[in-house]
Amino acid sequence: MNEAPAGHDPDMERRRGQEKRLRAAWATPRGWRYWSAVNNTEVGVWYTATSFAFMLFAGVLGLLIRVQLAVPDNDFMTGPFYNQVFTLHGTVMMFLFAVPIFEAVAITIMPQMLAARDLPFPRLSAFGYWCFLIGGVFVCGSIFFGAAPDGGWFMYPPLSTDPEQAGIGADIWLLGLSFIEVASIAAAVELIVGTLKCRPPGMRINMIPLYAWYILVVGVMIVFAFPPLIAGDILFEMERMFDWPFFDPRRGGDPLLWQHLFWIFGHPEVYIIFLPAIAVVAMIVPTFAQRPIFGYSWIVLAAVGTGFLSFGLWVHHMFATGLPAVSLGFFSAASQAVAIPTGVQIFVFIATLLLGRVVSSTPMLFVWGTLAVFVLGGLTGVMVALAPFDWQVHDSHFIVAHLHYTLIGGGLFPIVAGIYYFFPLVSGKKLSDRLGKWVFWLMFLGFNIAFLPMHVSGLRGMPRRVFSYPEGLGLENLNLVSTIGAFIFAAGFVLLVLDVVRPRRGQPYADTNPWNAGTLEWLIEMPGESWGVRSVPQISSRYPLWEQEGLARQVAEGRCYLPDAEEGRRETLITTTIDALPVQCLRVPGPTFITLWAAAFTGGVFVFATFHWWFATLVSGILGAGAILRWLWTGTAEIPEKPAKDIGLGVTLPLYMSGPRSVGWWAMFITMMGDMAAFASLIFGYFFYWTIHPDFPPPDQPDPSAGWLGLGLVLLLGAWWLTVRARGRNAAGSPGALRGALALGAVLATAGSAALIAAAWLPGLDPTSHVYPAIVWILLIWTAVHGILGVVMQLYCIAGSVAGRLTPRYDIDIWNVTLFWHFMALTAFLTVAVLALFPMAV
């Protein structure tokens, strides 16, 4: 920064030249083109700001709830409006703040933490952000038209499947949120691949920052937790739009299936919120204890263990539905067991703080707040994990208190700690410590004043989601105190927002590494450049800034890997998953509006479908598909001008890799795991109906035609075989054979998909008559749609081969399409096996 004048120092000239080229390659677009940016330094900030905007909106709704409940028999709001307010409060806080803020923070800081220039799919992050923004505005905006969802944040049928009871708000909820879930899965793919493949050389698996461990676990959780909800949304929307009776008991359906699918998503989601927030604590604690974390392996145990166990808890939300006691017992036991890994990490933090010399600071204040509030929420969690106790407090304000203690203690407080801690990374300046103390005490005291009394009001019998209560039940004072506390809490938050947005032109930039932290994100200079890290260092420790002497200087002087952008391209390093050996120099794409268009048109499909504007839906869908294809064609699998590149320090790496060694293949694999999770949920639905019916398939309903099913399977497996063969022949140097095999494969796949539809169509299965034909139809449509998607991919590869962008040597696309077809073949096999064989077996 403040070296002596350069003169003719050749080394200084080298550095200046490198910086100039890097700056040009990573330049943020100016003017209105700013919104075409895809780099994490922009998208991460938009994501964070938008999440907080939704949070403030939902916070205002929360205050409205407290105003309504401040006094008995209040008429501040009508009942129906109150329903919309509390539904939207929960929905927005969970779907538009708690989960997106994790993605926002991770996208912002993960590249810096891994000394990567960017995550591998920046345009995917940008696409996810635009989806989130569009879906979020759509869902939130509905309340201004009196059309917000009003069935509670978990939308239980039959209340919300009944068009008389629940209006268009339920459709807005289902379609708007499904769209946002797509964004979450996109972020999960990006973050998993980023953690596994974009670490700096030498950062072995035993050295990665704890934050990255948590993010890896949470990414995998999203891939398995969100798809069941998407599957549930599909069933739900089919019932609302086309009267397919999935949740209607009169025609064989069961509302309980929705509860299962919702909570298979919903309980892991609680940990999807908690883990990345506590991950921030795992970064802050060592910094302010000024020592490495005590018990690194135990944190890994906690993160991975919690991630798994959280999938065995979902029925504890359904303790009051009359399931057999033994089923409740299993879930109660798992709910107790999850307290072990959850507690372990709290002890690790306390031990680290006890062993270090704690520097007091605003982030640490919020960490103390986190520990205090979350432990209380965790303890009431163990209480409600016991079914008999849960029956007493189910649907009461005790639960409201419990969930706010866990979510605000385990989610919001650590995030605010992170805002104070990471703020200099983003803006180069610190937030005010003086105001910070005010913010903390207002929030901490306000929170406890608001929510501690709810334990008591709940035990005294005050139910959730009821807009008024009569005098004389001993609830008046408790509620009034809660309302006062809520406003104190809100005042603290407003103060934080004011501190974040106030102009700070006069304030000097913070020092480099202002907290004296040990991890790589603090290599960044103040203010940061959009290239992120000046050059990528070789890592040999968990806390490189503490333990690798001179590292910051070497990085800043461009003496490590990738110090230059000779070809003017954005580049980052790809390393191996366990030992982080550098294997590829990956070119990442730059600014574009195409992701915005793709999100806008895809969003159009969901928005127009809500209002049953089918023509607009169709047009939007075609334009969206076109935008995505154009994005893929122009921005991915680019053939480099030379096979390899010198990345400095005598290392030369290939610029292009395909198959299991490429990041694209990993992304496809992870996406397809999520796809299979959604498919498995639909299969689960089929067998769920079998368990609840004495006769399933019902004798008076026709079965799908086994002959057509078999034909469809044979054709689809043929298309799969041809695709696999196309890849092999292409790799052997015969692009003509690739085109021929894929063309024939596309014909077979189209015919196979049609045969599956015929299997239900020809015997006359009527999906509105009973749940059996409905679930058969859904499984067949799911498989056929995937078949058609496979056809599009086959045609895309043929076009690529003809255009010369898919060659025997540069063959990423056909590898990824083959991978898709492996999963497609499995999907087709399972669908046909279940639908054709199961009716014969029972």
Query: Which range, of 178-186, 355-363, 577-585, 821-829, touches other proteins by CB under 8 A?
Result: 577-585
**Contact pick of 392, 468, 541, 554 for other proteins (by CB under 8 A):** 541
User: In the complex with other proteins, which residue's Cβ is closer, 36 or 541?
Assistant: 541
Instruction: Choose which of 6, 60, 333, 498 interacts with other proteins (CB under 8 A).
Output: 333
The reply to whether 388 sits near other proteins by the rule CB under 8 A is no
> Contact, 169 vs 150, CB < 8 A?
yes
**Contact between 386 and other proteins (CB under 8 A)?**
no
Residues contacting 567, CB < 8 A, separation 6+: 641
Per-residue DSSP letters for 632-701? HHHHSSPPPSSSEEEEETTEEEES---GGGSHHHHHHHHHHHHHHHHHHHHHHHHHHHHHH-SSSS-TTS
Cβ(65)–Cβ(478) below 8 Å: no
Question: Contacting other proteins (CB under 8 A), which of 395, 511, 566, 579?
Answer: 579
Three-state helix/strand/coil letters over 103-152: HHHHHHHHHHHCCCCCCCCHHHHHHHHHHHHHHHHHHHHHHHHCCCCCCC
Q: State the Cα–Cα distance between residues 786 and 750, nearest whole angstrom.
A: 10
CA–CA dist 222, 181 (Å, integer): 9
* CB closer to other proteins, 179 vs 686: 686
Q: Which of 47, 173, 226, 296 binds other proteins (CB under 8 A)?
A: 296
* Span near other proteins by CB under 8 A; candidates 84-92, 300-308, 514-522, 667-675: 300-308
CB of 387 to other proteins, least distance (A): 10
Shortest separation between residue 555's beta carbon and other proteins, angstroms: 17
540 lies in the binding site for other proteins (CB under 8 A): yes
Q: Is 325 in the site for other proteins (CB under 8 A)?
A: yes
376 binding other proteins? (CB under 8 A): no
By CB under 8 A, tell whether 340 contacts other proteins.
yes
Whichever of 213 and 423 has its CB closer to other proteins, that residue is 213
Residue 354 binds to other proteins (criterion: CB under 8 A): no
User: What CA–CA distance (Å, rounded) separates 777 from 757?
Assistant: 8
Taking contact as CB under 8 A, which single stretch among the options 319-327, 455-463, 748-756, 805-813 is the one that binds other proteins? 319-327
Q: Which member of 63, 375, 692, 799 binds other proteins (CB under 8 A)? A: 692
CB of 753 to other proteins, least distance (A): 31
Calculate ∠ Cα 248-251-257, nearest 5°: 40
Contacts of 262 (CB under 8 A, 6+ apart): 154, 155, 229, 232
Number of residues interacting with other proteins: please give it, by CB under 8 A: 49
Q: Least separation, in Å, of the C-beta of 255 and other proteins?
A: 16
First to last CA, the chain: 77
Angular region, 431: left φ>0, alpha ψ -120 to 50, beta rest: beta
**572 DSSP β-pair partners:** 586
Nearer to other proteins, 328 or 814 (CB): 328
Q: Which of 56, 304, 372, 751 binds other proteins (CB under 8 A)?
A: 304
**Which tokens belong to 833?**
């096996």
Tokens of 489: 């809490």
Q: Is residue 295 left, alpha or beta, with left meaning phi > 0 and alpha meaning psi from -120 to 50?
A: left
Does 74 bind other proteins (CB under 8 A)? Our answer is: no
Token couple for 714: 């044979």
Rounded CA gap, 720 and 735, in Å? Answer: 18
Residue closer to other proteins (CB basis): 516 or 577: 577
Single out the residue of 49, 355, 578, 833 in contact with other proteins (rule: CB under 8 A): 578
Applying CB under 8 A, which part among 135-143, 148-156, 521-529, 579-587 lies near other proteins? Answer: 579-587
Question: In terms of Cα–Cα distance, which of 30, 23, 768, 71 is closest to 484?
Answer: 71
Between 2 and 691, whose beta carbon lies closer to other proteins?
A: 691
Among 45, 53, 71, 205, interactor with other proteins by CB under 8 A: 205
| Residue 754: CB minimum distance to other proteins, A | 35
- Which member of 207, 212, 225, 806 binds other proteins (CB under 8 A)? 207
Whose structure tokens read 């395909």?
658
**For residues 634 and 512, what is the distance between their CA atoms, to the nearest angstrom?**
39
Choice from 17, 80, 141, 329 touching other proteins (CB under 8 A)? 329
Q: Rounded to an integer, what distance in angstroms lies between the CA atom of residue 816 and that of residue 268? A: 29
Q: Interface with other proteins includes 389 (CB under 8 A)?
A: no
The minimum distance between CB 440 and other proteins, in angstroms, equals: 32
- Residue 496 CB contacts under 8 Å (≥ 6 apart), including other chains: 416, 419, 435, 439, 443
Q: How far is the CB of 245 from other proteins (least distance, A)?
A: 20
Per DSSP, the three-state class of 500 is: helix
Contacts to other proteins from residues 175-204, by CB under 8 A: 202, 204
Nearest 5°: the CA angle 519, 522, 523 is 100
For 680, residues 6+ apart whose C-beta sits below 8 A from its C-beta are none
Q: If we measure between CA atoms, which residue out of 113, 176, 133, 135 comes closest to residue 46?
A: 133
Handedness of CA 394, 397, 400, 402 (dihedral sign): negative
Among 184, 287, 332, 535, binds other proteins (CB under 8 A): 332
| CB-nearer residue toward other proteins: 71 or 651 | 651
Nearer to other proteins, 576 or 807 (CB): 576
325 burial level (CB within 10 Å; 0-12, 13-18, 19+): exposed
- Asked if 28 touches other proteins (CB under 8 A), the answer is no
Q: Which of 6, 24, 466, 581 binds other proteins (CB under 8 A)?
A: 581
Which among 80-88, 95-103, 170-178, 581-589 is the span making contact with other proteins, rule CB under 8 A? 581-589
Question: Is there binding between residue 381 and other proteins (CB under 8 A)?
Answer: no
Shortest separation between residue 301's beta carbon and other proteins, angstroms: 4
Positions 135 through 154 that interact with other proteins (CB under 8 A): none
Asked whether position 336 contacts other proteins by CB under 8 A, the answer is: yes
Residue 837 beta carbon to other proteins: minimum distance, rounded to whole angstroms: 18
- Tell whether residue 355 is a contact of other proteins (CB under 8 A): no
Q: How far is the CB of 354 from other proteins (least distance, A)?
A: 16
Is 572:22 a contact under the CB 8 Å cutoff?
A: no
Question: CA gyration radius for the chain?
Answer: 28
Figure out which of the listed residues 165, 297, 360, 768 binds other proteins, where binding follows CB under 8 A. Answer: 297
Quickly count: other Cβ atoms within 10 Å of residue 115's Cβ. Answer: 31
Q: Does 321 bind other proteins (CB under 8 A)?
A: no
Give the whole-angstrom CA distance, residue 36 versus residue 33: 5
Q: Give the nearer residue to other proteins in terms of CB position, either 78 or 577.
A: 577
Q: Return the structure tokens found at 242.
A: 């086309």
- Residue 338, Cβ density class (10 Å: 0-12 exposed, 13-18 middle, ≥19 buried): buried
- Work out whether 383 is an interface residue with other proteins (CB under 8 A): no
841 binds other proteins (CB under 8 A): no
- Binding residues for other proteins restricted to 616-655, rule: CB under 8 A: 651
Shortest gap between Cβ of 308 and other proteins (angstroms)? 4
Coil vs helix vs strand at 582: strand
CB of 748 to other proteins, least distance (A): 34
Nearer to other proteins, 7 or 699 (CB): 699
Q: Does 753 bind other proteins (CB under 8 A)?
A: no
Regarding 807 and contact with other proteins (CB under 8 A), the answer is no
Positions in the binding site for other proteins (CB under 8 A): 202, 204-207, 292, 295-298, 300-301, 304-305, 307-309, 311-312, 323-334, 336-337, 340-341, 539-542, 576-579, 581-583, 651, 691-692
